[in-house]
Amino acid sequence: MDVVEAYRTVVPEGAAALARATFNALRKPDFITFTSSSTVRNFVDAAGAETLRGVRAVSIGPVTTRTARCLGIEVAAEARVYTIEGLVEALLAICETGPLTV
């Protein structure tokens, strides 16, 4: 049996500094979306889970959610259908709950 790599997640140069600057700013983003376990791990390696305090995380599915929680990220919503469209639906549904209060 041959194994073929379908895709590879690569962290762009300067991403860590940009992530830290964005998520350590006085006005943070309201949300962050994660589309795979590797994006969660790469974010935590770059900026640390603690930088997401006050930011609602939305996950594409249960495997990604499990990875996020294991790395100390609270997941506010998870897509029911594990696609980008499902992720957008989960994000829109959580937006209906109103502003985040920390």
By the 10 Å C-beta count (0-12 exposed, 13-18 middle, 19+ buried), 32 is classed as buried
| Span 23-79, pLDDT tens digits | 999 999 999 999 999 999 999 999 999 999 999 999 999 999 999 999 999 999 999
**Average of per-residue pLDDT across 9-29:** 90
Residue 101 is predicted with a pLDDT of 42
Q: Give 102's pLDDT tier (boundaries 50, 70, 90).
A: very low
Helix (H, G, I), strand (E, B) or coil at 12: coil
**Side-chain half-sphere exposure of 64, counting CA atoms within 13 A:** 26
